[in-house]
Structure 1
C-alpha cells in the first residue's frame, strides 16, 4: 500500500497530554518507549519555533484519590522537559485542566478554543497512548478534526484486564494504533514525519 505524505497545516495545534511527574511513580508498572519524552520535546520545539499553537493538558486527579497525579501532590506537576518549554513559543498557548480521559472534557473548553482559532488539524502526543491520548484522538476525530498521532511521541504501561487477561505496553500501543488508524479516527505517524512536514 502506497503511503500518503503527511501534511501539517500552518495553524495545526500540538496537544501535549499529561506529561506529568506522577507517571514516573512505580504505581503504574512497566512502561514502553523510553524515547517518548525526547520525541515530545522535538515536537514542542518545532511547534514553538514555527509559531503554531501548543496546548498543554494536565490531568488533575481529585485530591482524595490515591493517584500520583492528584492535585496538591508533586506528581501533578509537568515533567521538567515540558515545564521548561511552557510560555517559550511565539504562537498561541493554552493550558487545559481535566479530570477524565479526554482533553475535550476539560477547562477551558478545548474544542471552543481550537474552533475559535480556525484550527482544523491537531497532533496528539504525551501520556498514556491507550488512555488519554487515544480517547482525545477518538473525540477529535468525531468532532471533525484531522488528527495526527505520532506513536513514538507517547508511551503507556502494561495493564491487567478482565478474565485474567493482560497486555504489555507494546501490545496496547499496537492495538491503539490499529484501532485509531484502521477506524479512521486518526492517522498514525512518526515524529520524524510530522516535524519534516511542519518545516
Structure 2
C-alpha cells in the first residue's frame, strides 16, 4: 500500500479570528508540522492543498496576505500543490484523483483546516473513491458555527462539538478512521 499525506488549507488567513470566530485545538499547526516531518523522513509523498477563495473579502482570497501557507507547510517538500475554490481537494487543480492514481497511491492521511468543512469533504470523497483514509483529528481545527435553519431555528455548535461530530460521522459512517498525530508519526518510523 502506498500512501500520501494530504495537508489541507494550512493558511495564514485562518488566524484571523475576527473573521472566523472562536476556534479550538491550538496544537493543530504543531501536529501538522510533526506529520510533515515524519513524511519527509520516510520519503512518502506530501500533497499540499491551498484554498483560493473567490470572495474578495475573504482572508483566503489570492490577493490577501492570508492566502499564504503557514511557514511549516510552505517549507514542506510537497510533491504537488493543489489549488481549489470549493471544499473538496478533489475539485482542484491539478486533478488530485488523477495525480494519486498515476502514482498508485491508495492510502491517504488527511490533516488541516477546517475539520468539518474541507477536511471532512475531502475525506468523504476519498472514501467514496476507494482510498484507505485516515484523518489525524488532532492535526485539524475548526471554528464555532451558527446558522438559522428552517424547522430548527438558530443552531449553534462549538468548534469542539463540530470536531467530535466530524470524527463520529467519518469513522462511524465508514469513510475514514481517526488517529492521533503521535500514532501516525510512530507508524511512519516502522
Establish whether TM, by shorter chain, passes 0.5: yes
Please report the TM-score for the alignment, with normalisation by the length of structure 1: 0.90
Establish whether residue 50 from structure 1 lines up as the match of residue 42 from structure 2: yes
Establish whether residue 143 from structure 1 lines up as the match of residue 135 from structure 2: no
Following TM superposition, the consecutive aligned residue runs of length 4 or more in structure 1 with deviations greater than 3 angstroms are none
Cα drift, residue 83 of structure 1: 1.2
Task: Find the aligned partners of 2:98 and 2:73 in 1 and give their Cα distance.
Answer: 24
- Structure 1 or 2: more strand by fraction: 2
Establish whether residue 194 from structure 1 lines up as the match of residue 169 from structure 2: no
What are the within-5 Å matches in structure 2 for residues 34-113 of structure 1? Answer: 34-62=26-54, 64-86=55-77, 93-113=79-99
What are the within-5 Å matches in structure 2 for residues 146-157 of structure 1? Answer: 146-157=132-143
Give the structure 2 partner of residue 16 of structure 1: 7
Cα drift, residue 184 of structure 1: 0.4
Task: Find the aligned partners of 2:128 and 2:49 in 1 and give their Cα distance.
Answer: 19
Cα-Cα RMSD: 1.0
Give the structure 1 partner of residue 170 of structure 2: 180
**Across the two proteins, how many residue pairs are aligned to each other?**
184
Task: Find the aligned partners of 1:12 and 1:198 in 2 and give their Cα distance.
Answer: 11
Q: Which runs of 5+ in 2 are unaligned?
A: none
Task: Find the aligned partners of 1:22 and 1:16 in 2 and give their Cα distance.
Answer: 15
Show CA shifts across 1:85-127 (max 9, x none): 345xxxxx11000000000000000000101100000000000
Cα drift, residue 84 of structure 1: 2.4
